[in-house]
Amino acid sequence: MARKRFNAAEREIIAAAAHQDLRVQWQNVTQWHPATLLTGEIVTEDGWQHVDAVNGEATARLSAGQRIRVTPGHVRLP
């Protein structure tokens, strides 16, 4: 089952990436792809958290440079 909130390790990654313009990886089902966070702000909508990012490479359904929402459990450092 999907998590609603980022854990402490994910929050640290988000904060570091936002302040240092570090790239992260986001998971799309089972594959990891590069991305750059737009801000370090964690957005909460109806109890579900996400961060806004820019997709770093084309996937089967997303273009490189497309804005995405990265959810808990789907963000890591490369």
Supply the mean pLDDT for the chain. Answer: 92
Q: Which residue is listed with tokens 């490189």?
A: 64
Q: Let me know if residue 2 belongs to a domain.
A: no
Judged against a pLDDT cut of 70, whether residue 1 lies above it is answered with no
Give me Rg for the CA atoms of the chain: 12
As a whole number of angstroms, the distance between CA 32 and CA 43 comes to 22
pTM, rounded to two decimals: 0.88
pLDDT tens, residue by residue, 48-68 = 999 999 999 999 999 999 999
Q: Let me know if residue 43 belongs to a domain.
A: yes
Which of 56, 78, 77, 75 is closest to 3 using CA atoms?
75
Q: Let me know if residue 39 belongs to a domain.
A: yes
pLDDT of residue 78: 87
pLDDT tens, residue by residue, 35-49 = 999 888 999 999 999
Domain ranges, residue 35: 8-76
pLDDT tens, residue by residue, 2-34 = 799 999 999 999 998 877 777 899 999 899 999
Q: Let me know if residue 65 belongs to a domain.
A: yes
